[in-house]
Amino acid sequence: MLWKDFGNRLEFQNESLHALASETEALANIPVVDETSVTNHFDFDLNCSQTDLESRDLDSLNQALDPLGLELIPTNMPIKMLVVEKAP
């Protein structure tokens, strides 16, 4: 994963859709689940900024994902989560 044009484009080279989901999850600080079952690796550019992800601008992100035939769909579903508490 590589940010280009001063953080205005996100470029992936030889990456999986799972990597895209993981990067989106990390930057937007929201759970993202890859339900595509696609395991191939691809090269692609997303026309969205790091700020779009950090501010959770899902409209901008979905516009960037549209040419790939992908979209983020907000939903309520159970997810596995590990909670770690700091020991005294």
Residue ranges covered by each domain of the chain: 2-68
Identify the CA nearest to 24 among candidates 78, 72, 83.
72
> pLDDT tens, 20-73?
898 888 888 888 989 999 999 988 888 888 888 889 888 988 999 999 899 999
Q: Which pLDDT score, from 0 to 100, does residue 39 have?
A: 92
Q: Could you please report the per-residue DSSP string of 33-48? A: ---S----EEEEEE--
pTM: 0.75
Q: How far apart are CA 7 and CA 77, in angstroms?
A: 31
